[in-house]
Chains A and B, each alone.
Chain A
């Protein structure tokens, strides 16, 4: 299809969609209004299970099955990307370059903030049911924090301190832990991914039943997934060379 034809098709579709969206806006509740029936039900359910962070309660308690599906999408796309990024037949491993010239300030800042960001990531995961955070956010902080080592030192240093195999296992463990939580709910007769543990006191670290466990499992899954992805892209750029003879 040439460009003009493509623009025409897009234009027709765009106008159609705009008409539909325009009529939808008139039926939507007014922006900023006080009518939120889902909010009222979600807040009541979260307070019933003593989970102060209602967003975490929605993710890991009230709509756990939905989060399991999202986690499966995450696992599938990490698996797909890792498969696509492995070295091809006409490629070979090459020695990655060592550290280049680097400012001492960069190195110092990297080494200071590496442990800080790892602890912050763990904190965000573990306190997900009490304060802003949870497995999704904390997992990303953990995985990206680890790569400060690449910025502050070098790719070989990152490879030494980041055994990739563990993170591949970590992904499987994260997914398996959530499914086990679900099956545990089934075995007690409460239902798949039901909150079966005692919910404890409001605002306590150990409270909200299975929510912190679910959150930690997702944290492991997301952190491992992001590490495996970044490892694939880094290796693609730094540690794989194309064989000139067959290319």
Chain B
């Protein structure tokens, strides 16, 4: 079970990087980076999971003392989801500029940096 849970995360990271390597379109590369990032969330949440535990929010249904899953990894995943969304937006803005300046979004056709 450990192998399956952590393996899913590792697989997502690697398949995302592989997508960047074989990409023929910059927008596709940006999406692949997001896939690789999602793999890290799966790893984080798998590290924090406990069988039978509830969400780390106490209330009437789950008084303090109830077993909860690890909130530290959830907090890391949560902040990173929002931040990675804006970083993805930054990358897409870069793609727009590349498309305007070079007239292509195929990475292999971008040979040299031009001002």
Contact = CB atoms under 8 A, between A and B. Distances in A.
B113 interface: no
B63 to A, nearest CB: 10
A63 B80 CA distance: 14
A233 B2 contact: no
Nearest to A136: B82
A158 interface: no
B94 interface: yes
Q: Chain A: interface secondary structure?
A: helix
Contacts of A36: 48, 50, 69-70
A190 interface: no
Contacts of B100: 88, 242
A25 B58 CA distance: 31
Contact of B57 (A10, A53, A136, A139): A53
A132 interface: yes
Nearest to A26: B2
Contacts of A63: 72, 75
B51 A32 contact: yes
A205 interface: no
Contacts of A42: 56, 70-72
Contact of B72 (A39, A53, A140): A39
B46 A229 contact: no
B81 to A, nearest CB: 8
Interface string B46-83: 11111100011111000010011111111100111111
A236 to B, nearest CB: 6
Interface stretch (A14-22, A106-114, A173-181): A14-22
A222 B89 CA distance: 13
A58 B71 contact: yes
A132 B7 CA distance: 28
Given A32-B51, A42-B71, A136-B79, A229 B86 contact: yes
Contacts of A31: 1-2, 4-6, 46, 49
Interface of A: 3, 6-7, 10, 14, 17-18, 21, 25, 28-34, 36, 38-39, 42-43, 46-47, 52-55, 57-59, 63, 66-67, 70, 73-74, 77-78, 80-81, 84-85, 88, 130-132, 134, 136-137, 139-140, 203, 222, 225-226, 229, 232-233, 236, 242
